[in-house]
Amino acid sequence: MLKTKATIFLCSMLFTVQLHAQSLLKEVEDSMPKKEKVSGAFKSTRVIYAHSTEMLHKGNLDFRIMHRFGYINSGINQLYGLDNATMRISFDYGITDNTTVGFGRSTFMKELDIFLKQRIIQQSTGENAIPVSIVIAAGATLWTQEVFTETKPGFSDRSSRYIQLIVGRKFSSIFSFQLSPILLHSNNAANIGGSQNVFAMGGGARLKITKRMAITMDYHYPFGILDSVTFAPLGIGIDIETGGHVFQLQFSNATGMNERAYITQTTGNFFRGDIRFGFNLSRIFKLGNHKK
């Protein structure tokens, strides 16, 4: 009888200890930071002219106007560049939260462009945190500007394509940075070393200065022999959030606003005053039904 009571007492003690241990484990798990995805490294899917790590949400349509005026140093006769302008109009759509497609048309060389952008990894905090976001973008361009030479370029001569890896991190609510190497193939040999293949290393940064305003920087260095009229594209801008709009004011030496154009056909030297004022205007439209 005594042995039976001891066994029952021991079992009840073990059961009590187990419940207490489970309670302690739950308290520890609840106190640990939950895994959360990090977004808003950049407030737009473009830093200035290059892709950022940001993606459109599923069902969102981004109507974007990118505008560049002439060189500020052209003087008063050209109203400091405002008499001349190039622009790109585009429509980007979020197929899923991790997949975006886009189509654009530029006045520079009357060029058409398409792209597909896929997020592979998203930065996160908490348990098993991921330190960076990784995105792959791939696209193609086709310039349609009329040529008056005797030999007319064909479809292949007018086309180019690229693939780009974008690795970025939001270090804090104030500062974000990304690296974006890109490989560009142009069937009509580019200015850089006369090569059809050009590799460039890109970088972008965002520094938040107020609740709705941030300073941005965008730069790509194309490896190869730059000729006397080709320079690396550099852009410095200010992002302004206004409700459903993101308004980007910037200063850049680039004329073109797609990958082929700004990497291989930037003909202004930023540090000698060949700077163009411009802006990007982005308006997001939510299409379809969205679950909260």
Domains in the chain, start-ordered, CATH in brackets?
Answer: 38-286 (2.40.160.40)
Residue 80's pLDDT is 78
Query: Considering only CA atoms, which of 103, 104, 102 is closest in space to residue 94?
Result: 102
- If you average pLDDT over residues 220-243, what whole number do you get? 86
Contact 264, 222 (CB under 8 A): yes
- If you average pLDDT over residues 113-134, what whole number do you get? 92
Residue 114's pLDDT is 96
For 185, counting Cβ atoms within 10 Å of its Cβ (0-12 exposed, 13-18 middle, 19+ buried), the class is middle
Whether 118 has a pLDDT exceeding 90, the answer reads: yes
Q: Please give the residue that has the higher pLDDT: either 91 or 152.
A: 91
- Backbone torsion region of residue 93, taken as left when φ is above 0, otherwise alpha when ψ lies between -120 and 50, otherwise beta: beta
Query: Considering only CA atoms, which of 218, 225, 281 is closest in space to residue 254?
Result: 218
Residue 155's pLDDT is 75
pTM for this entry: 0.81
Whether 129 has a pLDDT exceeding 80, the answer reads: yes
Residue 20's pLDDT band, with cuts at 50, 70 and 90, is low
Contact 152, 179 (CB under 8 A): no
Residue 292's pLDDT is 45
Whether 192 has a pLDDT exceeding 90, the answer reads: no
Q: Which of 9-23, 147-161, 184-198, 247-261 is the least confident region?
A: 9-23
Contact 167, 152 (CB under 8 A): no
Give CA angle at 106 (104, 109), nearest 5°.
135
Residue 149's pLDDT band, with cuts at 50, 70 and 90, is confident
Contact 125, 36 (CB under 8 A): yes
- In this structure, what token pair is assigned to residue 65? 């106007």
Strand residue runs (E) in the chain = 36-37, 60-71, 85-96, 99-106, 111-121, 124-125, 133-143, 159-170, 175-179, 182-186, 197-210, 213-223, 234-242, 245-252, 276-286
Q: How far are the Cα atoms of 129, 175, 238, 246, 264 from residue 52, in angstroms, in the given order?
A: 21, 14, 15, 14, 20
Q: Where are the alpha helices (DSSP H) in the chain?
A: 2-31, 155-158, 259-264
Whether 92 has a pLDDT exceeding 70, the answer reads: yes
Q: Which of 9-13, 230-234, 264-268 is the least confident region?
A: 9-13
Percent of the chain with pLDDT over 70: 85
Q: Which of 71-75, 97-101, 183-187, 204-208 is the least confident region?
A: 71-75
Residue 196's pLDDT band, with cuts at 50, 70 and 90, is confident
What is the residue-averaged pLDDT of the chain? 84
